[in-house]
Amino acid sequence: MSCTDLPVQSPLAKRKNPMVHTEINAPEVLQEMQAAFFRYEKALVENDVHVLDELFWNSVHTLRYGVAENLYGYAAIAEFRASRPAPALNRELVNTTITTYGQSFATANTEFRREQVHGRQSQTWIRTPEGWRIVAAHVSLMPTAT
C-alpha cells in the first residue's frame, strides 16, 4: 500500500477529540507499566535474554531499530539478543518518561548514560493476554560533550 492509497481522513478524525474517553496515566495502569519497564531495564543490564525475549511481543509486526541494526519481527530480535556480546551494559537512566493511554497502550522514553556513551531509547508497549509487551523500540546514540 502506498501513501496515495491511504484514506485522507479516518472516521475517528471526524470526532472533535478521539482521545476524549482515554484516561492518560491511570494510576494502576501507570504502576503496571513502570514495573514492566524497570523489569526490562534490569534484564537489559544483566543481559537476561530470557526476560528480554519475553518482554518483546512475539509477532512478525514487532520491530527494533538499534544503533547499528534494523530488526523486523520477533525472530530477528531474539536472534540478535542471543548473539549480542554483553560487556559493560550498566547505565544511568535520565529523563525517563512513561505515559499510558487507556488500559492497553503505553510509551516509554528515556535517555541513558554510560562512561563513554550517551543515548536515548523509545519503546511502544501494548497490553496482551500475557502482560505488557514491547511492539516497537528505537535506540540511538548521541554525541558526548568533551
Q: What is the pLDDT of residues 90-129, one digit of tens each?
A: 999 999 999 999 999 999 999 999 988 899 999 999 999 9
For the segment 25-49, the average pLDDT, to the nearest whole number, is 97
Above 60 in pLDDT, residue 6? no
CATH code matching the domain that covers 24-142, chosen among 3.10.450.50, 3.40.50.300, 3.40.720.10, 3.40.50.620: 3.10.450.50
pLDDT digits (tens, 9 = 90+) for 39-48: 999 999 999 9
Residue spans of the domains in the chain: they are: 24-142
Helix (H, G, I), strand (E, B) or coil at 81: helix
The three cell numbers locating residue 35: 514495573
Pairs from 44-53 (Cβ < 8 Å, separation ≥ 24): 44/89, 45/89, 45/90, 45/91, 46/89, 47/84, 47/86, 47/89, 49/81, 49/82, 52/81, 53/77, 53/78, 53/81
What is this structure's pTM? 0.84
Sign of the C-alpha dihedral computed for residues 126, 128, 133 and 137 taken in this order: negative
Helix (H, G, I), strand (E, B) or coil at 135: strand
pLDDT digits (tens, 9 = 90+) for 57-97: 999 999 999 999 999 999 999 999 999 887 778 999 999 99
Question: In this predicted structure, what is the pLDDT of residue 12?
Answer: 53
